Amino acid sequence: MLDSGTLKIYHASAGSGKTFILINSYLYILFKTPYNEGFKKILFLTFTRKSSDEMKKKIFDCIKDFSNKKIKKDYYKIYNFIIKTFDLTDEEFYDRSKKILDAIINDFSSFSKNISTIDKFTYRIVQSFKSNTNKRISLEMDTDHFLSEVVKNIMQKLQKSKKWAQLLVKFSLEKFKMGESWDIKKEIYKMAFLMIDENHYFFAKKIRNYSLNNFIKLKKVLVKRIIDFEISCENKGNKFFNFLKSTSINKSSFIYSDLSNFFYNIKIKNFIIDPVKKRLEKNIKNGILFSKTFYNKKQKNLIETHRKKIISLYEETKNFYKKNIFYYVLDKFLLKNINLLSIIHEIEKEFVFLKKSKGIILNSELNKILYEKINYSYPKIYEEIGMEYEYYFIDEFQDISYMQWKNIEILVENSLSENGSVIIVGDVKQSIYRWRGGDAKQFINLVNSHTKFYKKKIKTLDINYRSNKEIVKFNNSLYSYISNVFTSTIYKNVYKNTVQKTFKNSDGYVELNFFKKGFFETKNSYKECIYSKIKKKIEILLNKKYLLSDISILVRTNEECNFLSEKLIMDGFYVNTYGKILMKNHINIKIIINVLYVIYNPYSYEKRFYLILFLLKNKFINTKKNIHNFIENSIFLPLNIFFKKILFNDTITLKNYYNKSLYQIIEIIIESFKLLNSKNSGYIYSFLDFVYRITKQNIVNTISDFLYYWEQKKHKESVIYSYKKNSLHVMTIHKSKGLQFPIVILPFIDWKIISNRYREGRCIDIDPSLYNGLNTMYLDIPHYFSKINDKKINSIYNDYMINIMLDNINLLYVATTRSIEQLILFSKLDNKKLISHYIKGFLYKKKIWKEKKYKYVFGKNKKYY
């Protein structure tokens, strides 16, 4: 099972039984160890807390059941394996299980500590070599809040400094000239984020060593080089047109005017997007400067006479452009950000000050702290850990970052060198955390690398134990087709070799629903329509005796998660949501806020008008009268009579809310409008709790104070929602990783493969001799990079594209592999930019796609008992 001095790597596709492999291997060690505390020699690292908690529970429950002489179906294979491997009788097996269980219970803290997330393990180590300080250091999880505080403090300090204030004004003006937002808070936030983001650690480390004077000198170098290049281009353009003038050649005489356009674009500095067109290159190569049908014989003769010179000018200019365009683009990007980069040391000072004053370290910098410690001096705790653990398990390897692996690799290699064993499990297709540092290439490199220091065994788990036949078959075909979109052989093979064998005999069911382009007028109507389809689908499934808890709705964004959760809850479904259900979106909360505005502004007829419209729209007012007449006859009434008119009673009067607390006024509104019922109690009680908290803390006391505070906070305040055991699951695809459900509904499979906006940037190495000693820079990746004819820029852009494509295809893979019995998809039919284009292409390749067919079914739609 586990060979000494061997690194065992498992390729574990979705549903391939990796949990069983890990538990089986863990228990093997427990029974193999001659004493009962073998769990103290095992370090089991997972990527998420959910995975670590699940693994602890399953291992503990398994041992507990064995000790109680219970062999569940799920664990029978483990029981059988251990009995045969160690040649035990049933009684010996039960007795040993009891002793191991007692040892775990007696030292549960060690058992729990040794099955941990990588982050928690890292924090434990970092704390160990920071524990010699007198002041306790706590872990700050909310990086966004910390960075916002840093930016606020920096802005205040810089504005007070005459030197920095001038720099900030200059930077804002430069941004304004380029048509970008002049507010630099976002830019400072971005720079602060880069300083602590693990993905940009090496960039931040190098840039810290670059002084303000160096930045000032570098700016002069950049400005001069940019101007020199632009002047040279202008001169080369003028040289060409002056030559035409001197030789009487008409610029429009050239075929398609391509040559003239090339020099014109060079002359006016319109050359970021490649001016060297393929058609022009082809014609120059073939010696074609004018068309065969060109009628002007004089011009033909002139061009023929000066052909050599014309081509020479073109080649000279083209080569000059190609030689320098890469550095010109880098210079422009660096110059654009150089004012911001020059305050890097101010950001660093504020980091240090805030962390010291608060006594914190950021969760996002734990890996960097340990990485630096290891590279500076080998921490003593590593020697202790090396002696403490003999076996290492690392799950979800494709999601761990470069630094996380480097921080663990030392321990792994030490264990293997001393005849320990290591199990690593991963799947490149489920790498969806690159934005958090996860690196799929790291897993590929580990698999393909060679070492003399330890043995390596690689195994692919190719049986799908999760999904029914039709779902496995569908996914096999779909991702085999999708593998062809990759130009990278490595990623192509990852998906091409993803075919799984089926374990279950039940048929399974896959349903694909498409909506044609132009069917929806607005984004909201599309979402509303999809919701109505989902609601009908859920009702059908419930009629087929499925439980709500059998169904999971998976979406890509938190916004979609919130939207569906709110709609489902308002329609009376019990929902287990991983999203944030905002109070502000509920009808009844909107009514409360509108009524408060009317009370606060009794003569604001605009507020009254909106309140009446809202109540009419949502059928809180049922009037048989003409709506226009009803509004006209109500809106200008005295406030008491106005409320009586719209409520058809006099429960709200001026006397009701005079001398009442804000909380009491809101209670009166809720009672008067009969807003509280079983469907919305979660919203109402959460809102009342919010009001109680802020009044108790003296944050607000009056209606005026409350309305102002509400406008500031309404985008964050969510419902405290308790759900029942039998509840529908609504979550993002990221949250669903590692989970499985009988029914999976994917309502919005239409996200863009590549966004039109900047999605990310990357750090690149640059020549320090050209950049005043600076050897690295951060570069945003705009989409026009694809149109620049330069190998280095093309390489940067293609690498970016491959990563983004892999992210989105992996996200689709995770989504479509969560289901056991039924997989139901909804998507727009738009264009090649959407992820659903791959599904359409797959159907087309199978020769079942029809332009006017919008529903495709695989397998049988029935209840599986």
Mean pLDDT of 173-201: 76
Does one domain contain both 672 and 768? no
**Structure tokens belonging to residue 794:** 């093309």
Residues 218, 197: one domain?
Answer: yes
**Measured distance CA(473)–CA(266) in Å, rounded:** 55
The winner for highest mean pLDDT among 570-579, 714-723, 748-757, 790-799 is: 790-799
Same domain, 791 and 850: no
Residue 510 pLDDT > 90, yes or no?
A: yes
- Per 3-state DSSP, the chain is made up of helix, strand and coil in percentages (nearest 5) of 60, 10, 30
Does 134 have pLDDT greater than 80?
no
Highest mean pLDDT among 152-161, 704-713, 728-737: 728-737
Helices 185-196 & 143-160, crossing angle to 10 degrees? Answer: 130
CA torsion, ordered 446, 448, 451, 454, to nearest 10 deg: 70
Question: In this model, does residue 248 exceed pLDDT 50?
Answer: yes
For residues 322 and 455, membership in a common domain is answered with no
Structure token pair of residue 550 = 């059998």
Mean pLDDT of 705-720: 84
Rounded mean pLDDT, 126-144: 73
Residue 529 lies in a domain: yes
Burial of 524 from C-beta contacts in 10 A (0-12 / 13-18 / 19+):
exposed
- Same domain assignment for residues 145 and 61: no
* Residue 694 and residue 831 in one domain: no
The verdict on 248 and 345 lying in the same domain is yes
Rounded mean pLDDT, 838-855: 92
Q: Hunting for tokens 């000032």 — which residue is that?
A: 216
Mean pLDDT score across all residues of the chain: 87
Structural tokens at position 666: 């809101």
Same domain for 234 and 348? yes
Same domain, 648 and 628: yes
pLDDT digits (tens, 9 = 90+) for 561-613: 988 988 898 888 888 877 677 888 888 899 899 989 988 888 888 888 888 88
Q: Is residue 849 part of a domain?
A: yes
Structural domain including 269 reads: 138-358
Q: Taking Cα atoms as reference points, which of 5, 11, 829 lies closest to residue 440?
A: 11
Rounded Cα distance, 423 and 22, in Å: 8
Helix (H) or strand (E) holding 228: helix 212-247
The letter for the amino acid at 611 is L
Q: Which of 11-25, 133-147, 188-202, 378-392 has the lowest mean pLDDT?
A: 133-147
| Residue position matching structure tokens 């709110």 | 566
Asked, for residue 486, whether it belongs to a domain, the answer is: no
Q: What's the order of all strands across the beta sheet hosting 741-746?
A: 575-577, 728-732, 551-555, 741-746, 819-829, 509-516, 855-859
Residue 863 has pLDDT above 60, yes or no: no
Identify the bridge partners of residue 555 per DSSP, sorted by sequence position.
732
Mark 173-188 as b/e (b = at least 16 C-beta within 10 Å): eebeeeeeeeebeebb
Q: Does some domain include residue 192?
A: yes
The reported pLDDT for the residue numbered 637 is: 85
The answer as to whether 482 is a domain residue is no
55 neighbors 115 (Cβ within 8 angstroms): yes
Supply φ then ψ for residue 459, to 5 degrees: -135, 140
The total number of residues written for the chain in this structure: 865
**Same-domain status, 524 and 416:** no
Our count of domains for the chain comes to 5
**pLDDT at residue number 717:** 83
Q: What is the mean pLDDT of residues 238-262?
A: 91
Q: Residue 637 gets which letter from DSSP? A: S
The pLDDT value recorded for residue 179 is 57
- Residue showing tokens 């079914």: 857
Query: Is the pLDDT at 865 greater than 60, yes or no?
Result: no
Least confident of 122-126, 181-185, 505-509: 181-185
pLDDT tens-digit series, residues 50-97: 899 999 999 999 999 999 998 888 889 999 999 999 999 999 999 999
Highest mean pLDDT range out of 139-143, 197-201, 482-486, 818-822? 818-822
What is the pLDDT at residue 81? 93
Identify which of 82, 95, 102 has the alpha carbon closest to the alpha carbon of residue 27: 82
Q: Which of 274-278, 434-438, 626-630, 739-743 has the highest mean pLDDT?
A: 739-743
pLDDT of 519 over the 70 cut: no
Residue 848 makes CB contacts below 8 A (sequence gap 6+) with: 856
834 lies in a domain? yes
First vs last C-alpha separation in the chain: 35
For residue 344, is it within any domain?
Answer: yes
Confidence of residue 625 (pLDDT cuts 50, 70, 90): low
The pLDDT, as a whole number, for residue 864 is: 44
Average pLDDT rounded to a whole number, residues 387-409: 93
695 inside domain: yes
Q: Where among 333, 358, 383 does a domain terminate?
A: 358
Return the bridge partners of 778, or none.
763
> Which segments within 105-243 are labelled E, that is strand?
115-117, 138-140
Q: Give the model's pLDDT for residue 603.
A: 83
Instruction: Give SS3 for 744.
Output: strand
> What is the sign, positive or negative, of the torsion defined by CA atoms of 178, 184, 188, 193?
negative
Q: What does the pLDDT read at residue 672?
A: 83
Q: Give the CATH number of the domain where residue 112 resides.
A: 3.40.50.300
Residue pLDDT, tens place only, 307-337: 999 999 999 999 999 999 999 999 998 988 8
Give yes or no for a contact between 835 and 447, defined as CB atoms under 8 angstroms apart. no
Does residue 451 have a pLDDT over 90?
Answer: no
pTM value is 0.85
The token pair that represents 170 in the structure block:
């200059």
| 120 and 173 both lie in a single domain | no
CA atoms of 225 and 231, how far apart (whole Å): 10
Rg (CA), the chain: 33
What span, in angstroms and rounded, lies between the C-alpha atoms of 438 and 402? 8
In this structure, the answer to whether residues 692 and 556 fall within a common structural domain is: no
In this structure, what token pair is assigned to residue 514? Answer: 């498409």
Domain's final residue, options 306, 330, 358: 358
Q: In whole angstroms, what separates CA 3 from the centre of its chain? A: 38
**C-beta of residue 468 within 8 angstroms of C-beta of residue 504:** yes
